[in-house]
Amino acid sequence: MMMYDFKSIDLLKQALTHPSYSQENNRALSILGLSSAEASASLRLLANNADASALSVSSAVADASNLSICAAAGKRLGLGAIIRVASGTDASTPSVICTALRAVFGAVAVDSGSVDTAAKVFLMVYKSGLGAAVL
C-alpha cells in the first residue's frame, strides 16, 4: 500500500478507522499527517528556491492540503476499500479518504518517531502521479 513498513499495525489500523466506527479513530493522526504534508511541501519548495515568495509557499501549502488532490491520491492507493466506517457511512467520499490518507502520514510519523519519515512518504505518494502539481 505505502512505501513504509509499519512496526505497529495497530497504528495503521487506527489511521484507517473513521470516527463513525470507533472512539479510537484517525482524527488526531490526521492532524499530525496534515501538518507533516504541509511542512514537507514548504520545505521542498524552499530547498529548491530559497528566494521563494511567501505567496509561493502559501500556494504549496494549499496544494498539499487540497482535499481533491488528497482524496485522489488516497483512491489511487485503494484506501476507500480498507477504511473502517460504521454502516451508513460512505467510505468512498473524498473527505473520508483524504482524512484517512492524512492519518496514515501521521501514523508513519508516530511509528517511526520522525516527522521527516512521514514527509518522505508524503513526497513518494504525491510524486507518483497526482502530486506533481503539489511538488
**Is 130's pLDDT higher than 80?**
no
Task: Report the b/e string of 60-99 with b at 16+ CB within 10 A.
Answer: bbebbbeeebbbbbbbebebbeebbbeeeeebeebebbbb
Where do we find the cell 478507522? 17
**Would you call 130 helix, strand, or coil by DSSP?**
helix
Roughly how many angstroms between the first and final C-alpha of the chain, as a whole number? 21
- pLDDT of residue 91 exceeding 90, the answer is yes
135, pLDDT greater than 60: no
Q: Which fold has domain 9-133?
A: Ribonuclease iii, N-terminal Endonuclease Domain; Chain A (1.10.1520)
Of 63 and 97, which is predicted with more confidence?
97
pLDDT exceeds 80 at position 134: no
Chain segment 36-62, per-residue pLDDT in tens: 999 988 988 899 989 999 999 998 889
* Global confidence as pTM: 0.90
**Quick one: what percent of the chain has pLDDT higher than 90?**
72
